[in-house]
Amino acid sequence: MSQCPAPYAELQCLSNFSFLRGASHPEELVARAADLGYEALALTDIASLAGVVRAHGAAGEHGIPLIIGSQVDVDCRFTLILLAATKNGYENLSTLITRGRRRAHKGTYQLHRPDIASHAEGLLALWVPPLPLDSSREAGDTCGIAGWLHEHFPERAWIAASLHRDGQDRRRREALEALSRETGLPLVATGDVHMHVRGRRALQDTLTAIRLGRPLAQVGEALFPNGERHLRTRQALARLYPRPWLERTVEIARRCRFSLDELRYEYPLDDVPKGLAPDRYLKGLVEDGMARHWPEGAPVKVRHLVDHELAVIRDMGYEPYFLTVHDIVRFARERGILCQGRGSAANSAVCFCLGITSVDPAHSEMLFERFISRERNEPPDIDVDFEHERREEVIQYIYTRYGRDRAALAATVITYRRRSAIRDLGKALGLSQAQVDRLATNMAWWESGVDEDRVREAGLDPHSAIMRRLVALVEQIRGFPRHLSQHVGGFVISRRPLSHLVPLENAAMEDRTIIQWDKDDLDVVGLLKIDVLALGMLSAVRRSFDLIQAYRGKRLTLASVPREDPAVYHMIQQADTVGVFQIESRAQMSMLPRLKPACFYDLVIEVAIVRPGPIQGEMVHPYLRRRQGLEPVTYPSPQVRQVLERTLGVPLFQEQVIKLAMVAAGFSAGEADGLRRAIGAWRRKGTLDRFRARLLEGMEARGYDPAFAQQIYQQILGFGEYGFPESHAASFALIAYVSAWLKYHEPTAFTAALLNSQPMGFYGPSQLIQDARRHGVQVLPVDVCASDWDCTLVPLDDELGHGPEDIPPPALRLGLRLIRGLSRAAADRIVDARRVRSFAAATDLSHRAQLHRKDMDTLAAAGALASLSGHRHRARWAALATETPLPLLADACVREAEPLLRMPSEGEDLVADHASQGLSLGRHPLALLRERLAALGPATAQSLRALPQRRQVRYVGLVITRQHPSSASGTVFLTLEDETGTVNIIVWPALVTRFRAEVLQGRLLEVRGEWQQEDGVCHLVARHLTDRSAWLGELPTDSRDFC
């Protein structure tokens, strides 16, 4: 009778969070260990706890204890595996990793013996001896390490013994036993695991090659000799290791009692004055804010909201959270940094009174309990958008205010996508750089997998051994962590040092630190997260306000922009929204003439309705039909009517589906919150299915029609794809309205601000300027004798005085920032020298502004020297004369005879404009091609709008945007442009496949198809595409491509 294999716990295991080493996800390792009947699994990534939250969740699901540990090199001389036995041990481990990471560059760490010694309490240590174990190792060093371990880890230190069937096991076992006798440290079996199953060996080998930066064929002995570093069966382990070594793993595992569930987060109290309770201080600030907003007394509705919200905040102990956000916003406002809060907690009466948001609670219906309720114990969520170019000031204030030991950015786990996987794996497998580039760039951003046709188009054989391996490895590595990056703005702040909860490390950006957990992992310990986000439109709005103040002498704010202007809404209804926040995309422009927003709440709906959630939940058309009176508005019950009346019986916001689950299916607030979480995590975890039966049965029990219940569930699934909460939509709608008001009333200032805030938005500078000129804005070229770095407003002679207070509308002078290749420092020297006196000639400019020949050549190519040297050819000649002056002749100005150079042709100027600035104030490229196009007989964008419905047409235009939204089932939307305007093109999936090269690479496209227009919405449904890019010659063009 065979002996039962000894129990076993794996104590040395790397996941793919040991970047480019581990070949399995933490969840895969946990699941496999549970299947094999292990007693426990230790996750011991190298100087990292980045994967422990995911492993913790999987361990709970599979019912196996998780041991949290880490593998570290000490003094670059020996390796330890440190296991957290207690909560204090975990805090020490996290602090150690933080110390090692913070003193080194990103991606590396440095730890020394004194670091370990001072943080050894609560930790168990496994010494990983160097291989091979032979007489060459220094006995003194070995004894020194052992003595040090005995001193600092008494009865808590072992030697990790790994055997891997590589032909050396007998020799290694004898050497390990000798080492144990010599040092007095017991041996324990470990697997040095790098993958959950043997089948990941090819991937692990390739990861090693990527890490070392060499082709796989040249890596040699750096690879493991076989695939034994996987989680092996207990029977296989029993045949390799002595039973005492295996039993000792379980003894160690039982000493490790710590769980992440023990961690407790404490809110910072820095913003509460001494002697005041947090609730009293918060209430006082809110009362002050109410008095400012409503000097005659707040409305009853607002008063009730404030009392209710303060009561919930007090019960949950969230006062420090709101006070912290208030302090950050206060700092920004004091320094003139435009900001706006959003989120259900942000768009509350309390946050309005605190100045965190400008959305008036008296005119909105927010669900405060969406993020804050008495039924759960988790932090609320407030996002604050700041001007994108000044957000760094806010970030550094937070670091200064709370200290780098208590404040850090959340991490974002950067994972392999298809193109990055192809690039790294292709090089590792021996493909040339040219082959890798051809293959990677031939993949459309929306396609999945590596299609054989794409491989052939790249000039490679899809059936070759290398390509078969590449395709297989791409599928395995997609979604693998590549490295930790900083989250776009999620700040974590704590009362005690953050390193007691999670390790910190340096970010790649200077003066930034991050925690090792991804944003989605923070809920495990309820970490306070404040999203300090960057929003380009806020920069543009603030710049607009500054320009208007400088030109007209009046200061606007988000709150003082006149509300509910009919002329602004009329412009929006016409889809005249190029440059307007949130409603400038093709999809939004198609919706605007149908929905016809006429008030602020209509704008809230507009922002929310063009999202994958409402689209895939089939909510858009029912809402439009009801709004247009084509379908009756009905409600299955008074309770449902109360939830959906404002949106005509159609759920458009996340808050509404959560409320529906409560009133129609009997969900408790806690269950509804679970539904909310599942909606947010659906694409990542697919957890919505478990709510289906509960929802359908709950609605049926309350007498609702099963078809209605199924419809609600389908709409919830749509929100899982991406839907907007009403609170977010309201905040964005406010900025959308303000930007639309600026576009209508102050188009010159608004366009200048947009140009000064690039890159941002849906359209590039060329389209923004063309749109402004169509709206009557006079645009003046870049000129060294007049332009600043930024685009500016300049007065024009206008006897009529069209502007407010009889100030005529300004012209827009393009700034030096638009010239590609010109540095800010050079531009500043030009402006400074011009302030002293005007430039007499190009040589005077180069001498006084200290410009090199390259600077002068860049200015000449952009046409910025026209006022000094004439046309471009003369300007280039003048630039060639630029020389660094000798000290004795520093102020000399030598005049030369003007050369007889011909003027550039219109086409040459056009090409030079686009090459140097990405735009031209001359004629549109299509205007120059119009005579050639006449033979084809294509329509213009303007003439198309006069054609009847369903006319077969031909159109030629420059591609300025490409879109492949996930909600469009493979359809691609193109925006083409000519000298008269733009045309939206719909390319159905079958045609995308047929004309793939034209869709992806075409810059000038001829489109034949059917012209359609309804309710003011126009588009051309493509039937055939022809790439006419060759007609552009050397003209460079840009398109903005979106998923």
Does residue 844 lie within any of the structural domains? no
- Quick one: 390 and 453 in the same domain? no
Reading the block at residue 178, the tokens are 């000798």
Reading the block at residue 518, the tokens are 């991804």
Q: What is the rounded distance in angstroms from the CA atom of residue 263 to the CA atom of residue 267?
A: 13
Does residue 429 lie within any of the structural domains? yes
Write down the pLDDT at residue 803. 47
Element (H, E) at 594: helix 586-595
- pLDDT per residue as tens digits for the range 794-846: 998 644 444 445 678 899 999 999 999 999 999 999 999 999 999 988 888 98
Write down the pLDDT at residue 800. 41
Which residue did the predictor score with more confidence, 762 or 259? 259
Average predicted confidence (pLDDT) for the chain = 88
Chosen domain end from 231, 262, 293: 262
- Quick one: 642 and 507 in the same domain? no
Q: Which of 5, 4, 23, 3 has the alpha carbon at shortest distance from 13? A: 23
β-strand 792-794 against 1004-1014: which pairing, if any? unpaired
Read out DSSP for 527-561? --EEEEEEEHHHHHHHHHHHHHHHHHS----TTTS
Q: Which of 754, 749, 751, 743 has the alpha carbon at shortest distance from 577? A: 743
- pLDDT per residue as tens digits for the range 490-518: 888 998 999 999 999 998 888 889 999 98
Reading the block at residue 304, the tokens are 């009730």
- Quick one: 383 and 502 in the same domain? yes
β-strand 1040-1042 against 951-963: which pairing, if any? parallel
Q: What is the rounded distance in angstroms from the CA atom of residue 435 to the CA atom of residue 429?
A: 12
Which residue did the predictor score with more confidence, 48 or 727? 48
- Quick one: 226 and 360 in the same domain? no
* pLDDT confidence band for 348 (50 / 70 / 90): confident
Element (H, E) at 435: helix 433-441
Above 60 in pLDDT, residue 617? yes
Does residue 116 lie within any of the structural domains? yes
Write down the pLDDT at residue 377. 56
Q: What is the rounded distance in angstroms from the CA atom of residue 533 to the CA atom of residue 894?
A: 53
In the block, residue with structure tokens 């309390």: 350
Above 80 in pLDDT, residue 379? no
Cβ-count burial 614-651 (b if 16+ within 10 Å, e if not): bbbbebbebbbebbeeeeebeebeeebeebbeebbbbb
- Numbers of helices and strands, H then E, in the chain: 42, 23
Chosen domain end from 669, 690, 721: 721
- Quick one: 305 and 358 in the same domain? yes
Does residue 317 lie within any of the structural domains? yes
Which residue did the predictor score with more confidence, 681 or 1003? 1003
Write down the pLDDT at residue 967. 63
Residue range 1007-1029: average pLDDT?
90
Above 50 in pLDDT, residue 69? yes
- Quick one: 375 and 329 in the same domain? yes
- Quick one: 131 and 26 in the same domain? yes
Chosen domain end from 679, 698, 721: 721
- pLDDT per residue as tens digits for the range 598-615: 999 999 999 988 876 677
In the block, residue with structure tokens 């402006």: 831
Q: 46: which strand partners?
A: 71
Residue 814: DSSP 8-state: P
* pLDDT confidence band for 785 (50 / 70 / 90): very high
- Quick one: 154 and 232 in the same domain? yes
Above 90 in pLDDT, residue 677? no
Write down the pLDDT at residue 1031. 92
Q: Which of 242, 374, 354, 398 has the alpha carbon at shortest distance from 313? A: 374
Q: What is the rounded distance in angstroms from the CA atom of residue 515 to the CA atom of residue 522?
A: 10
- pLDDT per residue as tens digits for the range 409-420: 999 899 999 889
Q: What is the rounded distance in angstroms from the CA atom of residue 936 to the CA atom of residue 956?
A: 9
- Quick one: 84 and 162 in the same domain? yes
Cα distances from 1021 to residues 810, 933, 970, in angstroms, run 40, 21, 15
Fill in the amino acid letter for 93.
L
Does residue 691 lie within any of the structural domains? yes
- Quick one: 692 and 642 in the same domain? yes
Domain count, the chain: 5
Q: Which of 161, 188, 196 has the alpha carbon at shortest distance from 253? A: 188
Q: What is the rounded distance in angstroms from the CA atom of residue 1017 to the CA atom of residue 995?
A: 25
CATH number at residue 1002: 2.40.50.140
In the block, residue with structure tokens 């180069």: 846
CA 692, 697, 698, 700 dihedral sign is positive
Which of 249-253, 720-724, 1029-1033 is least confident?
720-724
- Quick one: 290 and 227 in the same domain? no
- pLDDT per residue as tens digits for the range 111-146: 999 999 999 999 999 999 987 655 444 555 788 899
Q: What is the rounded distance in angstroms from the CA atom of residue 963 to the CA atom of residue 1040?
A: 9
Read out DSSP for 322-365? HHHHHHHHHHHHHTT--EEEESTTTTSHHHHHHTS----GGG--
Neighbours of 333 (CB within 10 A): 12
Q: Which of 912, 896, 924, 930 has the alpha carbon at shortest distance from 858? A: 912
Q: For residue 436, what are the domain limits?
A: 417-478
Q: What is the rounded distance in angstroms from the CA atom of residue 812 to the CA atom of residue 779?
A: 5
Above 80 in pLDDT, residue 344? no
- Return the beta strands (E) in 778-898 as ranges: 779-780, 792-794, 811-813
- pLDDT per residue as tens digits for the range 197-213: 999 999 999 999 999 99
Region of 666 (left: φ > 0; alpha: ψ -120 to 50; beta: rest) is: left
Phi, psi of 586 (to 5 degrees): -55, -45
Write down the pLDDT at residue 939. 87
Does residue 91 lie within any of the structural domains? yes
The answer to whether the CB of 126 falls within 8 A of the CB of 159 is yes
Above 70 in pLDDT, residue 945? yes
Return all residues near 497 (Cβ < 8 A) that are at least 6 apart.
Answer: 95, 405, 406
- Quick one: 387 and 496 in the same domain? yes
Write down the pLDDT at residue 363. 61
Does residue 901 lie within any of the structural domains? no
Residue range 919-935: average pLDDT?
89
The answer to whether the CB of 331 falls within 8 A of the CB of 279 is no
Cis omega (within 30 of 0) for bond into 566 = no
Does residue 776 lie within any of the structural domains? no
